[in-house]
């Protein structure tokens, strides 16, 4: 145990003595003169005494001396029964008796402040020497050490990223047996950076590495290093690495490292000095510690493009491991992990579910399984059935059903034809994504939705596929215009998506004949300056006009293609819309039968009803046209 410096103790003792003396001097208003009892009686007789306080063992008061100055006095009392009579006869203005005080009151009054100072000093010393939970411990790291009693996460709990697990296998082997690498002269990476989209399992993967290696795991977040006090972040970085060295071999994990690892001097108004000090200290610590100590740093981020280059150079984060979005096989494995504690019905096929969740990451799949279990519990089911999982997929993609939303018959017909337009164009185009389901039940912000699901994972998209995707996007708007001779705001989202795709085709993908294979816009905008105020000035105003013309040309071509397809198959459009109004939901099988000219079961006289449905729409459109024309004539007459 470290001995305390005796001069340090002497200093504090003298400090308390001085404080005590100052407090006593402040508490006393002036010196008290000791008088003999005979002098006291004499002053009473001459009328100099103005105030007397009599206690059992002491008499205090005030008197005026020969110069008329008011002074304080004290004297020892004697057995004098005439004292009160003498004070009354000589007109002493104030006199009273004082109750005898106990020993506790004076002791606390005299020594209480000094005792409080001692307790405060002890508390301060403990706070400075204690952990991060005590006072004055701002410089201590907030990294949490994983409990040994908690269930360890291993690679069995991580699925869908086999390549990433292979990359991290060397780290595990080094932590288990460092001599294996040191004998050959090899150096294990000092730091490993896990990169991937949010929800792909970067943090889970880091925990699994620690669980596989069986070593302590310190986890912290990048935002925990920066505080309102200057220098706290750098101090916490130093403390984190010191704890790691004391617990070696171990793993240090920093989640969302981009909070402190951004480019220095980036952004409007210069850099953030405190954050940059923290980053500089992190750079020094990573460059200074040796992997022979058995300390490995793992960091995670979904924004590797904003990290400072000095952080990514060899010798710091030597290895970058990409945690990708899971493919079909990976999604099946992830589903297998998450359904271990779920009671599934025999009709649930995980391969089918995996095909219907293209683009889902691990967090989405975990949410999907949980939503399905909640839906089954809400319906008092004993097992989770396929219908629960399909409903959960729809909730995640499009939002929950809005059963309480009241929609007029007219808006419901418009929605049915809008979705029928999307569906019809998607079924007719050979390179379009297959239609899985179409519905006119409101979900989230939309009044209906057409669910397109690819049959397999795709990593490349051709120009033909993009053009077909644009045509499908305009199918709803074109159907509204052809059937009702009018358009609505329902196609706003479709137009926005189509414009974005067409713009990327011209400016990023090189799919324009006039522009050619040029990239005129960075795929990743400058996030430091913001998307709106950072403008790429690598092309002229003339080129901008050509870009606008090309984007409009692609949009017009897609709209023309959708219009021709719907005009040529208008009867099928009416049929799909009719069935949507009747059933509200149509599956891929139902749509296949409709396209083949078959009538769906359980409905009679389908052809006659569809004809009446078409006539009803025509009549209503004519009425609306007459009403519009009448209102126009009335407005003109008012103007005249």
Domains with residue ranges and CATH for the chain: 6-104 (3.30.720.210), 144-322 (3.40.50.300), 328-397 (1.10.8.60), 409-603 (1.20.58.760)
Per this entry, what is the length of the chain? 640
- In whole angstroms, give the CA distance from residue 145 to residue 243: 10
Q: 435-445 in b/e burial notation, b at 16+ Cβ within 10 A? A: bbbbbbbbbee
By CB neighbour count within 10 A (0-12 exposed, 13-18 middle, 19+ buried), where does 535 fall? exposed
- In whole angstroms, give the CA distance from residue 280 to residue 252: 18
- 109 versus 492: the higher-pLDDT residue is 492
- In whole angstroms, give the CA distance from residue 58 to residue 185: 90
Residues 135-147 have a mean pLDDT of 57
- In whole angstroms, give the CA distance from residue 334 to residue 168: 19
Determine which one of 371, 419, 480, 481 is catalytic: 419
- Min mean pLDDT across 458-462, 473-477, 526-530, 603-607 is at 526-530
Residue 302: closest CA among 288, 277, 323, 329: 323
One-letter-per-residue 3-state SS of 68-92: CCEEEEEECCCCCCCHHHHHHHCCC
pLDDT of 606 reads 55
CB contact set of 332 (below 8 Å; sequence gap of 6+) = 350, 351, 354
Residue 212: closest CA among 168, 159, 161, 167: 168
pLDDT digits (tens, 9 = 90+) for 185-196: 767 777 889 998
Banded model confidence at residue 554, pLDDT cuts 50, 70, 90: very high
Average pLDDT, rounded, for the chain: 78
Sheet-wide strand order for 449-452: 449-452, 435-439, 585-587
- Share of residues in the chain with pLDDT > 70 (%): 73
Tokens of 590: 């139902």
Residues 579-589 have a mean pLDDT of 87
| The pLDDT of residue 176 is above 90 | no
Cβ atoms of residues 182 and 292 within 8 Å:
yes
| The pLDDT of residue 72 is above 70 | yes
| The pLDDT of residue 349 is above 70 | yes
Give the SS3 label for residue 493.
Answer: helix
Dihedral, 348, 351, 352, 356 alpha carbons, nearest 10: 120
| The pLDDT of residue 328 is above 80 | yes
- Min mean pLDDT across 243-252, 312-321, 398-407, 538-547 is at 398-407
- In whole angstroms, give the CA distance from residue 191 to residue 312: 9
CB contact set of 149 (below 8 Å; sequence gap of 6+) = none
pLDDT digits (tens, 9 = 90+) for 377-395: 998 999 999 989 988 888 8
Give whole-number Cα distances, 231 to 138, 143, 226, 470, 530, in Å.
10, 17, 9, 54, 28
Residue 500: closest CA among 460, 472, 466: 466
DSSP state of 60: E
Give the SS3 label for residue 453.
Answer: coil
Residue 426: closest CA among 365, 359, 361, 479: 479
- Min mean pLDDT across 74-83, 124-133, 390-399 is at 124-133
| The pLDDT of residue 131 is above 80 | no
This prediction's pTM: 0.65
Beta bridge partners of 51: 62, 94
pLDDT of 531 reads 41
Beta bridge partners of 437: 451, 587
Residues 311-329 have a mean pLDDT of 86
pLDDT digits (tens, 9 = 90+) for 242-291: 888 888 778 888 888 888 888 876 554 445 577 788 888 888 888 765 55
pLDDT digits (tens, 9 = 90+) for 20-52: 666 665 555 556 777 777 777 777 777 777 778
CA atoms within 13 A on the CB side of 529: 8
Residue 623: closest CA among 421, 481, 485: 485
pLDDT of 550 reads 94
Beta bridge partners of 194: 300, 321
- Min mean pLDDT across 57-66, 175-184, 283-292, 630-639 is at 630-639
Alpha helical stretches, state H, 28-159: 37-45, 83-89, 104-129
Cβ atoms of residues 455 and 355 within 8 Å:
yes
- In whole angstroms, give the CA distance from residue 96 to residue 52: 6
Give whole-number Cα distances, 294 to 182, 210, 251, 267, 290, in Å.
12, 13, 8, 37, 8
Beta bridge partners of 322: 195
Catalytic-residue membership of 481? no
Residue 473: closest CA among 448, 503, 446, 494: 494
């Amino acid at each position: 145990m470290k001995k305390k410096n005796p001069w340090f103790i002497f200093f504090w003792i003298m400090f308390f003595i001085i404080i005590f003396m100052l407090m006593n001097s402040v508490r006393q208003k002036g010196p008290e003169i000791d008088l003999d009892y005979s002098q006291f009686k004499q002053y009473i007789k001459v009328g100099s005494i103005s105030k007397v306080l009599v206690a059992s063992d002491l008499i205090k008061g005030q008197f005026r001396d020969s110069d008329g100055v008011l002074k304080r006095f004290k004297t020892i009392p004697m057995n004098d029964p005439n004292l009160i009579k003498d004070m009354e006869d000589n007109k002493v203005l104030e006199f009273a008796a004082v109750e005898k005080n106990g020993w506790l009151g004076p002791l606390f009054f005299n020594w209480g402040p000094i005792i409080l100072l001692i307790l405060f000093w002890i508390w301060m010393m403990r706070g400075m020497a204690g952990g991060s939970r005590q006072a004055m411990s701002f410089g201590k790291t907030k990294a949490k050490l994983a409990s040994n009693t908690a269930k360890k996460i291993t690679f069995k709990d991580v699925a869908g990223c086999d390549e990433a697990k292979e990359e991290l296998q060397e780290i595990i082997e080094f932590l288990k047996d460092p001599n294996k690498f040191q004998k050959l002269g090899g150096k294990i990476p000092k730091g490993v950076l896990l990169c991937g989209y949010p929800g792909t399992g970067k943090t889970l993967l880091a925990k699994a590495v620690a669980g596989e290696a069986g070593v302590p795991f310190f986890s912290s977040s990048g935002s925990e290093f920066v505080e309102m006090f200057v220098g706290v972040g750098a101090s916490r970085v130093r403390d984190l690495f010191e704890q790691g060295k004391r617990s070696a071999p171990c793993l240090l994990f920093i989640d969302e490292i981009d909070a402190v690892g951004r480019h220095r001097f980036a952004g409007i108004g210069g850099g953030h000095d405190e954050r940059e000090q923290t980053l500089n200290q992190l750079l020094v610590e990573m460059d200074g510690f040796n992997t022979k100590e058995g300390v490995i740093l793992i960091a995670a981020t979904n924004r590797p493009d904003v990290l400072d280059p000095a952080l990514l150079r060899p010798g710091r984060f030597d290895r970058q491991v990409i945690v990708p979005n899971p493919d079909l096989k990976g999604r099946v494995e992830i589903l297998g992990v998450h359904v271990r504690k779920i009671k599934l019905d025999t009709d649930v096929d995980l391969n089918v579910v995996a095909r219907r969740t293209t683009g889902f990451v691990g967090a989405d799949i975990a949410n999907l399984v949980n939503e399905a279990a909640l839906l089954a519990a809400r319906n008092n089911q004993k097992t989770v059935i396929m219908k629960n999982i399909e409903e959960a997929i729809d909730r995640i993609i499009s939002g929950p059903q809005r059963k309480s939303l009241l929609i007029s018959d007219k808006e419901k017909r418009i929605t049915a034809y809008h979705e029928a337009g999307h569906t019809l164009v998607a079924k007719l185009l050979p390179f379009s994504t297959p239609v899985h389901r179409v519905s006119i039940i409101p979900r989230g912000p939309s009044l209906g939705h057409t669910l397109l699901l690819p049959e397999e994972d795709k990593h490349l998209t051709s120009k033909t596929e993009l053009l077909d995707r644009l045509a499908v996007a305009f199918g709803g708007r074109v159907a509204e215009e052809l059937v009702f001779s009018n358009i609505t705001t329902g196609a706003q989202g479709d137009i926005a998506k189509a414009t974005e795709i067409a713009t990327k085709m011209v400016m990023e993908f090189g799919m324009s004949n006039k522009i050619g294979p040029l990239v005129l816009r960075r795929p990743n905008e400058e996030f430091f300056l913001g998307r709106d105020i950072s403008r790429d000035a690598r092309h002229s105003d003339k080129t901008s006009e050509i870009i606008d013309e090309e984007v409009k040309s692609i949009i017009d071509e897609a709209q023309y293609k959708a219009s021709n397809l719907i005009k040529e198959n208008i009867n099928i459009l009416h049929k799909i819309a009719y069935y949507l109004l009747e059933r509200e939901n149509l599956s891929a099988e139902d749509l296949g039968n409709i396209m083949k000219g078959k009538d769906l079961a359980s409905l009679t006289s389908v052809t006659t009803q569809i004809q009446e449905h078409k006539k009803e729409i025509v009549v209503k459109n004519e009425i609306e046209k007459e009403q519009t024309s009448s209102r126009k004539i009335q407005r003109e007459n008012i103007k005249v």
